[in-house]
Structures are given as C-alpha cells and as structure tokens.
C-alpha cells in the first residue's frame, strides 16, 4: 500500500501524461483568446484602408505612416501629452496627500480618528454616477471664482482625484507594518512625525508607494466619463476621450483607429511589462484597479 | 454601515490630557487635512448635494423645489414604498447598533449613557451645520440669476459670494451650529475627564452621535415622504382625479414584508426540531406564495407607470450582470485551477491572461468594436464565413438572441427574447476583460489552502474531482464571495466600455442603468432627474450587497 501511494504521489511530476497535455491545450487556447485581439490590433494598425476593412489578416506592406497620421493628423500627440500631464499631476498629488493621511491614520492619535476613517471608507461604496452631477456643479462653481479656469483645464481633471480613500487605506496598511522601535528611537533623537515620515517611513514604504502610483496612473489614463463632462474642447482632452472622439468622427478609418489604440495602450503595456510583479501582487493583495 | 459595526475600539491608557497629546492630535489633523478636504469636497459633500439636486427641477441652472417628483417620475408609486423602506431599514440599523452598544458596555461594566447628553448636543450641532449648508446653497446657486445682464467677471462672483455668506439667516445658522457643536464637544470633554472611567468613552460618544443623527434623519425622511403623499393627494383632488398611492404602498410593502418574513421563518426553521421545522417551512412557503402573488399583481402596473427608459436600463443591467458574472467566475476558476497545477510557463500564462484587464478600456473596446463590426468582411464575420455561417449584425443588432436563434418567424413573447445580440457582444467583452483579474485573485486564494489537506485526502483515496469539490471549493469560498460581490457591483456601475461600444442601431438595447443616468445628465441636461436616478441605482447596489452578504453568511466557509 505504502509504495503504491508513493508512486501515485509522484505521478503529477511526470511531464507528459494525457492530463498535462490537456491542461496545456486549455491554457494555450485561453491565452490565444486573450491575446488575439491585440495581435489583430497591431496588424490592423499597419494595414491600408482597403486591407483593414477587407479580410486581410496581415498587411501586404506595413504602413508605418499610419502611426504618423494618427500621431499628428488625428491629434493623438496632443491627447497623449495631455494625459501624461494629467496623470503626472494626479499621481504627485496622491503621493503627497495620501501618504500624509495614510501615515496619520496608521501612527498618530487624533480625535475621531476611527470615525473619520470609516466615513472615508464608506465613500468607496458610492457609485461614480451619484457624484458626477454634484461634482460637475461644484467644479463649474470653483472655476467661476478661482484665478484659473477649471472647466477645459487641468484642475478639473486632476484635483478631484488627488485623494483617494483606496490609496490612503493601502498606505495605512503599509505604515502599520513599520516597526514601532524605529519610531521610539527616532523620538529619542528628537524627530517629529514629519521628519520620521520623510527619513524613515517613506523609504521603507517604496513598494506601496509604487503600487499607489501605478494604480493612480492607470485610473487617470483610463478615465472617460468625467473627462467627457468637463472638457468641451480638445485642448485638455485626455487620450481615452481622444480615442473615443476619433472612433466616432472617423468611423471608417479602421487602420488609423487601430494605430490610435496602439498609441493609447503602449504606455500602460510598457509599464505593465516593466513592473509586472508589482502589478499582479498589488492587485492580488488589494483587489482593485485604480 | 455605521461606525459602530466596523470601528475597532480605540485602545489607549486612561490618563489626563497633556500638552503632548494635544500636539500629537494637531499634527494628525494637519496630516489628514489636505486629503480629507478633497475627499470631503468631492466624495462626501456630493452625496448630500446630489440629494439636494434630486429634489429640484434642475436643468443646468437650479429650478424650483419639486419634492419627490423626480423619484416618482422614474419609479411611480414604488418611490414612496422605497422611501418608507429606507426609513424602516435605518431604524432597524439604529436599534441594532444601540443594542450592540449596550451589550458591549455591559461586557466592560461601563455606563455608556453618561455620554448621551454630550452626544445629543453634538448631534444637534452637526444637524444645525447641515441646516446652515441647506440655507447657504440656494443663496450661492442663485448668483448666476442675479448676474443676468451684468458682465460675469470673477470679481462680481466673489462679491456676490460674500453677500450670500453675509445673509443674516445664513450667518445665524452658521454661528448657532458652531456654538452648539462646541458646547457638545465641551460637554464630552467634561464627561471624559470627570465622569466616564471607561477607555472606550470616545467610541460610545461617536456611536451615539451616529445613532442620533441616523434616527433624526430617518424620522425626517418618513415625515417628508408622508407629507409628499398628502401633497400628491391634494393636487389630485384639485384636478378631480383619484389616486391610489396608499393602497399601492400598503400592498407592495405587504408583499415585500411577506417575502422577508418567509425568508426569516425558513431560516429559523433549520434550528428547530422536525415537527416545528415542518410547520415553519409550510408557513414560510405560504407566505412566499402570497407575497410573490401580491407583487406579481402589483409591480407590473407600477413599472408600466414609471419611466420606460429607466426600467429598460435596469433590465439591460440585470441581463448584463447575469450574462457576465457566472461565466467570468467559472472560466477564471478553471484557468486558476489549471494554472495552479505543476506546469511550466506559469508566469507567462498569467502575464498573458492579465493583459486584457490592464488594457485601457476605450482602446480594448475599440478593438472589439472593429472585431464585431456588422461589415461582412469584419474579422468575426469572416471567421463565421469560414464555417459557412451567415454574417451577423453584432453590435448593430437590437433583436434578442433567443429570437435570433429561433429564427425570424418564431413567435416569441417580448419578455422572453433575451438580451440583444449587441448586448451579448458587450458581455463577451466584459468576460474577456475581467477573466485575468479573477484568475489572479483565485490563484492567490488557492495559494492560501494548506497543502496538507490535499495530501491527507489523497491518502484517503479521494480523486481529483472529490478533492476539488470537498476541499478547494469550500476553502475558496471567501475569495469567490469577494469576487462575486465585486463583479456584480461592477456590472451595475459599468459605463466606459458600454459607452464606447453602444450604437444607435442597437436602439438602446445596450444602455445600462449608468448609461441612462449619463445621457439624462449630459445630453438631456435633466440634472435633478439624473440625480434621483443615481440614488435609485445606489439603492439597487446596496440591496444587492446586502443580499450577497446574507448568502455569504450561510455559504462562505472561513476555515
């Protein structure tokens, strides 16, 4: 009996039984389904118009000029730059504000702390649809009295997103793990909370900060409904909205649309491939996208 | 939902307040201030503001106060029912939280009621602060009206803003609220230092404030709904019409109540012995039948009287949710289980499965739009041609899939034609897009199951399938529950990809609830109405969350 069990335990290690081949077949089929749209997008972005609307699978001669046309003629250059600026401002704001708040929630005692924390987490449950209307009115109003315009300008696209309950939660969890001995010894050296945060806690929290930055960047890059509401001219139109507008205006130009899609996807794709581990682990532990 | 249920008690040693503590507290407040200011302005204030907007006729500029008219427009008399039920649920929550508070204080031998007076005064302060905002808002929102004919400069806006702030009523409301709140906090300070001996004092204080505010809000809402019904009757009387609001409110509420009672007694039955169990189950079944019968008789009339677009949007959303969530979870569970086996290239597969999820939504939806284009030469139609099938209109097809499968001549009743083909394409997109995410989470869940269990099971001779059924599935249930909740809520909030893929040709069969709200707001500029719809959506999401939680309580196994 004992030896029989041993062999059956060793069974899975044999590489090429039928079960394993089946597993590989299923997984590969799934992977193909996941990736084929991307391959077709790249291929389609290099076709000419008749190939893209016809039945071609691969372009006869790669039309690299499509990318130039999308970049300059279809204004993707401007949308791209807008999105980069918007994302950079939002990420910076979040890193500063959410780090401060996350640290305070983790390590400072102040009145009504747990109440404020619950109140903040409760906002995560509210669907975007509820806040569109009031926030739009608020933003219009702030624009009327502030020195710089808000509608059709960067503030309305960035400032409302500079603090997120989700990021604060994430960073708070991380700052909890900073050993309290470090804080005790810093206090003996006469450091206050701010100096401790900057000198010791932030360097330790780099992975969490990177995760927050990544999610914020993606969220900002993907934003669609809100930018539609607050940008009426192309001046500050971010790339997702730019692509949507291009889809609606140039319905037949499939090849250029695909080139635009490639341009939109590229930065996220590169980020993903660079910090893939951070990405999947961040999502697996937190369970959310920006 | 309130702080009492989730807040961990603040653990601290009892000591008199010192200068260092105050300094620490101030530092903390300074640290959270910027983030909290933003979250307050763009996350918390909007909820109240949206309530305000939803009670007005509001097209770009605010119009007159219309009470619950916006809600009645979309839901007809069901709106009154819904509001009464909100009141009931909030009252229930208050009672539950208070009893929890009493229980907790007994365990620690405390007397929480010494906090009642400070909590009452502070709650009154908070309530009068809300009153201040409600008084200030119309003054501010009315400024553009006052500026008609004048040049709209920043200086003028600022000047009028100053005037709005200095309106005597607003001023007195503001200072009253400040004084009352300060008195409340002062009283709390006195109680903290001289009366209460408990280390959980502040937690009692905040719990009581929340309870009092919720109680007040519920009573106010109940009174408001009641007076709105009276108003509707009065208006109908003047117009010489007859109304049956109360009749419908009572029958529909009774129907829901019966369903609820049926569920409660069915659940209670499981704890009893066999004869009582049988009786309870029979009673439960009877109540279920009667309740369902009442609702089936009554609800269609209400729905028919409500907003067609909105109900269509909800129907589309329900179709979308049912057609997406099970497939998404099922497929990703299979993939995760396979990936968890001893195979090569695990990380490469994971990387590829994850690609659709991280892809910017608009770009991915754009690819699908081209893939499922109605052109005969589009990729999917070409593929179908390879198999000798006729091309389909995909995203341009408003007809239900069951109708398409049965053929154009089949006579299918309208309620049974299923989601439109266009919506099915959107479902496919959604499944494609979220599988990678679910797989990663499932993988994390699988990694948390102790290996020894499988080893023990295989020694006992359990096969792969038995192991999967009896070990993997139950131990994975917390993950499954989390993903289900997230996916269901996600489908009810869905907008971006639907917005990209929707086509005029699909005749609105792909417009989910969020899309209906967005178009009412952005295209039809019905701000008030759209705000009321968004609250109905929030209500639906909350109900789904509660149902999901209840099911999870019974089915989820936290090993």
Asked if residues B245 and B234 have their Cβ atoms less than 8 Å apart, the reply is: no
B482 and A229 within 8 Å at the Cβ level: the answer is: no
- How far is the alpha carbon of B261 from chain A, nearest alpha carbon, in Å? 28
Task: Using alpha carbons, list the distances in angstroms from residue B328 to A90, B324, B363, B480, B514.
Answer: 32, 6, 21, 11, 21
Angle made by CA atoms B450, B456, B461, in degrees to the nearest 5: 135
Asked if residues B35 and A98 have their Cβ atoms less than 8 Å apart, the reply is: yes
B53 and A133 within 8 Å at the Cβ level: the answer is: yes
Of B21, B154, B367, the CB nearest to A40: B367
For residues A168 and A215, state if they share a domain: yes
Tokens of A34: 């996941």
Q: Cα–Cα distance between B122 and B2 in angstroms, integer? A: 17
Instruction: Give the total number of structural domains in chain A.
Output: 2
Dihedral sign from CA coordinates of B62, B63, B69, B73: negative
B527 and A20 within 8 Å at the Cβ level: the answer is: no
Q: Are strands B56-59 and B61-65 parallel, antiparallel or unpaired?
A: antiparallel
A100 and B521 within 8 Å at the Cβ level: the answer is: no
pLDDT in the model for residue A35: 92
Indicate whether A209 belongs to any domain.
yes
Indicate whether A267 belongs to any domain.
no
For residues A42 and A96, state if they share a domain: no
For residues A103 and A217, state if they share a domain: yes
For residues A8 and A84, state if they share a domain: no
For residues A198 and A121, state if they share a domain: yes
Q: What are phi and psi of B57, to 5 degrees?
A: -85, 120
- How far is the alpha carbon of A61 from chain B, nearest alpha carbon, in Å? 19
pLDDT in the model for residue B21: 79
Mean pLDDT, chain A, whole residue set: 85
For residues A45 and A87, state if they share a domain: no
Indicate whether A96 belongs to any domain.
yes
Residue tagged 């999105």 (tokens): A83
Give the residue from A19, A29, A12, A38 showing the smallest Cα distance to B335. A29
Tokens of B66: 């219309």
Residue of A nearest to B512 (CA): A129
Give yes or no for residue A290 having a pLDDT over 80.
no
Tokens of A134: 């009031």
Tell me which H or E stretch contains B56. Answer: strand B56-59
For residues A141 and A21, state if they share a domain: no
For residues A18 and A147, state if they share a domain: no
Residue of B nearest to A223 (CA): B496
B27 and A163 within 8 Å at the Cβ level: the answer is: no
Chain-centroid distance of CA A106 in Å reads 25
Q: What are phi and psi of B266, to 5 degrees?
A: -60, -40
pLDDT in the model for residue B435: 92
For residues A104 and A178, state if they share a domain: yes
For residues A55 and A107, state if they share a domain: no
Q: Is the ipTM of this complex over 0.90?
A: no
Tens-place pLDDT, residues A212-233: 898 899 889 999 999 999 999 8
Asked if residues A233 and A78 have their Cβ atoms less than 8 Å apart, the reply is: no
Which residues of B are less than 8 Å from A31 in CB distance?
349, 352-353
- What residue numbers bound the domain in which A49 lies? 2-65
Higher pLDDT, B431 or A251: B431
Q: Cα–Cα distance between B483 and B488 in angstroms, integer? A: 8
Tens-place pLDDT, residues A84-129: 999 999 999 999 999 999 999 998 988 778 888 988 988 888 888 9
A115 and B351 within 8 Å at the Cβ level: the answer is: no
Asked if residues A213 and A91 have their Cβ atoms less than 8 Å apart, the reply is: yes
pLDDT in the model for residue B17: 59
Tokens of A135: 């926030």
Give yes or no for residue A274 having a pLDDT over 60.
yes
Tokens of B41: 């302005």
Of A5, A115, A168, the CB nearest to B3: A115
Alpha helix (H) ranges present in B40-115? 45-54, 69-75, 78-108
For residues A51 and A135, state if they share a domain: no
Mutate to test the interface with A, among B46, B142, B385, B498 (most CBs of A within 10 A): B46
- How far is the alpha carbon of B353 from chain A, nearest alpha carbon, in Å? 6
Of B202, B440, B496, the CB nearest to A284: B440
Indicate whether A265 belongs to any domain.
no
Which residues of B are less than 8 Å from A224 in CB distance?
361-362, 495-496, 499-500
Angle between helices A276-286 and A206-222 (to 10 degrees): 90
B53 and A119 within 8 Å at the Cβ level: the answer is: no
Q: How many helices (H) and strands (E) does chain B have?
A: 24, 2
Indicate whether A92 belongs to any domain.
yes
Which residues of A are less than 8 Å from B500 in CB distance?
224, 244, 247
Which residues of B are less than 8 Å from A136 in CB distance?
521
Q: For B407-448, give the secondary structure using H, E and C.
A: CCCCCCCHHHCCCEHHHHHHHHHHHHHHHHHHHHHHHHHHHC
Indicate whether A272 belongs to any domain.
no
pLDDT in the model for residue B174: 94
Of A23, A123, A269, the CB nearest to B39: A123
Indicate whether A164 belongs to any domain.
yes
Mutate to test the interface with B, among A127, A250, A287 (most CBs of B within 10 A): A127
Of A114, A130, A240, the CB nearest to B46: A130
pLDDT confidence band for A289 (50 / 70 / 90): very low
How far does chain A reach from its first CA to its final CA, in angstroms?
Answer: 54
Tens-place pLDDT, residues A44-82: 899 888 887 777 788 888 888 889 988 988 889 999 999
- How far is the alpha carbon of A224 from chain B, nearest alpha carbon, in Å? 6
Q: What is the pLDDT along chain B (559 residues), one digit of tens a residue?
A: 333 444 444 444 455 556 777 888 899 999 999 999 999 999 999 999 999 999 999 888 888 889 899 999 988 888 999 999 999 999 999 999 999 999 988 888 888 888 889 999 999 999 999 999 999 998 888 888 888 778 778 888 888 889 989 999 999 999 999 999 999 999 988 888 887 777 777 788 888 999 999 999 999 999 999 999 999 999 888 888 877 888 888 888 998 999 888 888 888 777 777 788 888 888 888 888 988 898 888 888 888 888 889 999 999 999 999 999 999 999 999 999 999 888 888 888 988 998 898 889 999 999 998 888 888 888 888 888 888 888 888 888 888 888 888 777 777 777 777 888 899 999 999 999 999 889 988 988 888 888 888 888 888 888 888 888 888 888 888 889 888 988 998 899 888 899 999 887 788 888 999 999 999 999 999 999 999 999 999 999 999 988 888 888 777 776 5
For residues A20 and A129, state if they share a domain: no
pTM for the model stands at: 0.88
How far does chain B reach from its first CA to its final CA, in angstroms?
Answer: 26
Indicate whether A93 belongs to any domain.
yes
Which residues of B are less than 8 Å from A275 in CB distance?
none
Mutate to test the interface with A, among B358, B460, B542, B548 (most CBs of A within 10 A): B358
CATH number at residue A213: 1.10.3720.10
- How far is the alpha carbon of A288 from chain B, nearest alpha carbon, in Å? 9
């Amino acid at each position: 009996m004992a030896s029989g069990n041993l062999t059956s335990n060793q069974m899975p290690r044999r590489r090429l039984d039928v079960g394993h081949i089946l597993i590989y077949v299923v997984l590969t089929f799934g992977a193909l389904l996941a990736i084929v749209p991307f391959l077709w997008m790249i291929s389609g972005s290099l076709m000419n118009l008749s190939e893209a609307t016809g039945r071609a699978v691969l372009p006869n001669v790669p039309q690299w000029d499509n990318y130039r046309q999308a970049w300059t003629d279809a204004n993707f250059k401007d949308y791209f730059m807008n999105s980069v600026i918007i994302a950079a401002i939002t990420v910076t704001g979040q890193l500063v504000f959410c780090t401060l708040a996350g640290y305070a929630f983790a390590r400072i005692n102040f009145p009504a702390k747990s109440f404020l924390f619950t109140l903040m987490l409760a906002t995560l449950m509210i669907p975007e649809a509820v806040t569109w209307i009031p926030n739009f009115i608020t933003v219009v109003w702030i624009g009327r009295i502030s020195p710089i315009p808000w509608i059709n300008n960067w503030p309305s696209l960035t400032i409302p997103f500079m603090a997120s309950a989700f990021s604060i939660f994430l960073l708070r969890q991380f700052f909890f793990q900073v050993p309290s001995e470090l804080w005790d010894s810093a206090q003996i050296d006469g450091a206050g909370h701010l100096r401790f945060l900057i000198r010791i806690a932030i360097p330790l929290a780099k992975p969490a900060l990177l995760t927050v930055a990544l999610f914020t960047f993606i969220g900002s890059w993907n934003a669609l409904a809100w930018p539609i509401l607050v940008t009426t001219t192309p001046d500050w139109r971010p790339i997702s909205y730019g692509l949507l507008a291009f889809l609606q205006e140039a319905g037949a130009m499939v090849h250029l649309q695909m080139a635009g899609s490639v341009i939109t996807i590229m930065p996220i794709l590169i980020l993903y491939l660079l910090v893939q581990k951070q990405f999947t682990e961040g999502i697996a532990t937190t369970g959310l996208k920006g | 939902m309130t702080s009492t249920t989730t807040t961990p008690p603040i653990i601290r040693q009892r000591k008199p307040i010192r200068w260092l503590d105050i300094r620490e507290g101030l530092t903390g407040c300074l640290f959270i201030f910027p983030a909290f200011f933003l979250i307050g302005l763009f996350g918390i204030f909007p909820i109240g503001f949206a309530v305000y907007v939803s009670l007005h006729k509001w097209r770009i500029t605010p119009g007159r106060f219309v009470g619950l008219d916006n809600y009645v427009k979309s839901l007809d008399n069901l709106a009154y029912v819904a509001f009464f039920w909100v009141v009931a649920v909030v009252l229930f929550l208050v009672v539950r939280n208070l009893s929890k508070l009493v229980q907790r204080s007994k365990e620690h031998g405390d007397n929480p009621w010494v906090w009642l007076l400070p909590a009452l005064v502070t709650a009154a302060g908070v309530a009068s602060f809300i009153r201040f905002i409600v008084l200030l808002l119309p003054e501010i929102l009315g400024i553009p009206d006052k500026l008609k004919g004048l040049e709209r400069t920043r200086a003028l806006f600022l000047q009028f803003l100053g005037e709005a702030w200095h309106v005597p009523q607003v001023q007195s409301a503001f200072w009253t609220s400040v004084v009352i709140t300060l008195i409340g906090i002062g009283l709390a300070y006195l109680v903290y230092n001289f009366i209460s001996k408990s280390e959980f004092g502040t937690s009692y204080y905040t719990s009581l404030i929340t309870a009092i505010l919720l109680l007040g809000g519920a009573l106010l809402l109940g009174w408001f709904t009641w007076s709105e019904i009276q108003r509707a009757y009065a208006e109908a009387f003047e117009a010489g019409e007859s109304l049956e609001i109360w009749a419908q409110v009572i029958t529909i509420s009774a129907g829901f109540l019966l369903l609820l009672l049926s569920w409660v007694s069915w659940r209670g039955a499981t704890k009893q012995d066999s004869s009582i169990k049988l009786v309870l189950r029979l009673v439960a079944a009877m109540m279920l039948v009667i309740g369902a019968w009442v609702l089936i008789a009554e609800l269609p009339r209400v729905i028919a009287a409500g907003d067609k677009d909105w109900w269509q949007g909800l129907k589309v959303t329900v179709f979308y949710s049912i057609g997406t969530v099970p497939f998404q979870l099922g497929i990703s569970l299979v993939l995760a289980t396979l990936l968890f086996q001893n195979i090569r290239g695990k990380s490469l597969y994971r990387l590829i499965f994850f690609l659709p999820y991280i892809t910017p939504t608009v770009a991915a939806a754009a690819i699908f739009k081209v893939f499922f284009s109605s052109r005969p030469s589009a990729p999917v139609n070409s593929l179908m041609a390879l198999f000798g099938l006729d091309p389909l209109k995909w995203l341009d097809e408003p007809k239900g899939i069951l109708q398409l499968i049965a053929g154009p001549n089949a006579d299918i009743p309208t309620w049974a034609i299923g989601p439109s083909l266009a919506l099915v394409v959107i479902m496919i997109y959604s499944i494609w897009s979220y599988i990678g995410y679910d797989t990663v989470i499932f993988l994390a869940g699988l990694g948390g199951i102790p290996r020894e269990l499988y080893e023990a099971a295989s020694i006992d001779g359990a096969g792969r399938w038995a192991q999967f059924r009896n070990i993997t599935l139950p131990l994975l249930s917390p993950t499954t529950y989390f993903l289900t909740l997230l996916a269901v809520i996600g489908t009810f909030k869905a907008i971006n990809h639907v917005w990209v893929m929707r086509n005029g040709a699909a005749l609105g069969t792909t417009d989910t609830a969020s899309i209906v709200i967005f178009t009412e707001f952005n295209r039809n500029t019905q701000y008030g109405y759209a705000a009321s719809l968004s609250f109905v959506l929030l209500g639906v999401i909350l109900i789904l969350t509660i149902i999901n939680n209840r099911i999870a309580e019974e089915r989820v196994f936290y090993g």
